Amino acid sequence: MPILSIIQYPHPILKTPCEALHQELPGVGQLIRDMQDTLMAHPFCVGLAAPQVGSLLRIVVIDCSRSRKPAKNHGNLVLINPVITHREGEQVMREGCLSLPDYTGNVKRAVAVVVEGLDSDEIPQKIEAEGFEAVVLQHEIDHLDGILFLDRITSLKTDVFRRKTY
């Protein structure tokens, strides 16, 4: 499967909200497989949203088991039309993004979330996540709404950091 090119900020597609999929579109299965291969091609990458590869479909692929952070997680996830239905608590965590490869930032997110969506077979899923996996889900779903982690930081001066290595 081809490795897809990652769209970089400030490309306007990254700020464009995606439309929900209401029917099976030709090529969606291939897009999902290509997104998974693209995720795997980037060491330590744990999430990818369709706008990051040039598609305005509400699809995310996530695999927090690839993280260096030991945490409970659901492994490889594909979510179509994901929606956060519940948020709990607050935490600040350092985030990075393939679409902003030179920067990281401190972002305030919920500690725990419940996300509902469809898997790649269009079977409804309800994911209860906490900690790092909850942050990744929120980050990737933000991409579907045209929101970047930079939009969620409190201060450009104190909360954005130049990445040393990627």
For the stretch 73-93, pLDDT in tens is 999 999 999 999 999 999 999
For the stretch 107-116, pLDDT in tens is 999 999 999 9
| Active site (catalytic) residues | 140
Could you tell me the residue ranges of all domains in the chain? 12-162
Cis peptide before 82 (omega within 30 of 0): no
CATH of domain 12-162: 3.90.45.10
Spatial contact of 97 and 147, defined as CB atoms under 8 Å apart? no
CA distance 67 to 32: 20
Q: pTM value?
A: 0.95
